[in-house]
Amino acid sequence: MASQPTSRTTRTSSKKLVPTVVQAATDLLENKGVQAVTIRAVAAQAHVSPASIYNHFGDKQGILDAIAEQHFSVMVSRLREIAEQDPKTRLRQAGIVVRQLMLATPQAYELMWVTRPGPAAHDAFTQLIHIVQYGQVAGVFIKDDPRKLAEAIWASVQGAIFIEWQHQSAARSSSDHVTTLDDDAYNILLDVVIRGISRS
């Protein structure tokens, strides 16, 4: 009896296709960079047909947007899990969570800030606003506009993490940079941010 030909693609339900493709694309992104994320490469990695990717994502940019949205969704989930009662500790933990996510998937993290923000990106920022409001209600944080305070915190944390990401991706010694960022420096940054919005 003649053997059946082996296909590299398998049928994947619509419900499973998106997370399968996003994971495959994320693996390519983290291991080989954004240039490696092509429709054909992702299809091969996910063992699906290129046509199915075109149907669900449209083009490469659609895949990149989906990666960013997925990682922002993870950020939202992690931020919602923070349950510390002390407002300062809650805000510090939020900063730690964001940095942990960056260290886990640095290429995807960079992508999150250069793609058009989707609902999950806005939701992530809303979680930060809620943390600020929580501290204001408790009488711990100053009574300025919570959105403006969140924007200042967001910019400070993202700027610091972006510096760290650049250092990691440059593959050069720390002596080649004006500044570096390690655990101690990042914790000092969080101290400065928290003191800056605290009433005392």
Domains of the chain: 11-58 (1.10.10.60), 69-197 (1.10.357.10)
Q: How many CA atoms lie within 13 A of 51 on its CB side?
A: 3
Nearest 10 degrees: Cα torsion 62, 66, 69, 71: -140
Q: Phi then psi for 198, rounded to 5 degrees?
A: -90, 150
Q: For the segment 28-37, what is each residue's pLDDT rounded down to a tens digit? A: 999 999 999 9
Ramachandran category for residue 137: left, alpha or beta (phi over 0 → left; psi -120 to 50 → alpha): alpha
Give the C-alpha distances (Å, rounded to integers) separating 84 from 105, 146, 151, 187, 189. 25, 19, 22, 17, 20
Q: Are 22 and 70 in contact (CB under 8 A)?
A: yes
Cβ contacts of 20 within 8 Å, gap of 6 or more: 12, 46, 48
CA 85 – CA 52 distance, rounded (Å): 46
Type of residue at 43: A
Q: Are 177 and 122 in contact (CB under 8 A)?
A: no
This prediction has a pTM of 0.83
Q: For the segment 111-135, what is each residue's pLDDT rounded down to a tens digit? A: 998 888 899 999 999 999 999 999 9
> How does pLDDT run along the chain (200 residues), one tens digit per residue?
444 444 454 555 667 899 999 999 999 999 999 999 999 999 999 999 999 999 999 999 999 999 999 999 999 999 999 999 999 999 999 999 999 998 899 999 889 988 888 999 999 999 999 999 999 999 999 999 999 999 999 999 988 888 887 776 655 555 554 455 688 999 999 999 999 999 97
End-to-end CA distance of the chain: 82
Type of residue at 194: I
Q: How many CA atoms lie within 13 A of 116 on its CB side?
A: 4
